[in-house]
Structure 1
């Protein structure tokens, strides 16, 4: 589904000086397209570099949590928030980061699925708890995660979930236009396609 007819604001053109950013170019080289949401954020001076800095720090930069799990956490945070644009984007990016389509498709059943190990299930429990507001009772999720993660690793997990709280709200409010490249994920991940249909404007 193309959401261009429902977007509340057009993104800046790629050659607009406000959308020029080295970190954005690095992201484009990673995912293969220019995210419309970021080109819309660029309308407010300072927002794009701040958001891209958080993306680099929490999701794509050096860290204690393995990259594949970081993207799974982001996908679960978007799935739980039911933000289709963000979910499609992060699932597409997760596949680029080495997470297989089969595991991404099994994400709704991560508590029981054999496609996830105990460490992944524990981390995803925190992402599930933090995906909506008010936040679900996260106490049991943290207790389940502590045998697998240090305090510093738990901070990384929460940072990723919190970052996608920003994206989920931005994209749901703005009805960001879904680009053709990440939309490929809809052909591989069933829950994404169902979410698209259920949240169709």
Structure 2
């Protein structure tokens, strides 16, 4: 039940994420018009990853390795299908991020907003580096990683800024899908 809820939340977040660049572009165009800029304001890489904090939440909160990796695999595959990335790029990196965050979950607790932002920034930076390296090694065009690396830092920062919202959503899903005995024991996650 919980994994299905996380998967469905991930699908909704993916749909929002895939259209978020349009909203950000419209806002930048309006701001450019308001300040009477001679050209359109452009901020490449400003779109956050909404799925990455969800996968981090599942990893840090010690969900089943097989089920969590399965959800990360499915969401990564859907990201590959929706985006223009080669099939398997996000599939493999989302599973790797889940496993890495699960390994780090023993030592880290994402209870505070500062820790959630820190986790999201760190793991998004790792994810961006993984994507650039994989594109450099296996990509057809050598110019793609060089064109994408300037977008990494804005992407990392916006993902870090949106992470507390996604962690709060994930905590609500976690609390709503707890079994009766776990609720009685007080094993809930605070948002």
TM above 0.5 = no
Q: TM-score normalised to the size of structure 1?
A: 0.35
Higher CA-based Rg: 2
More helix by share: 2
Q: TM-score normalised to the size of structure 2?
A: 0.36
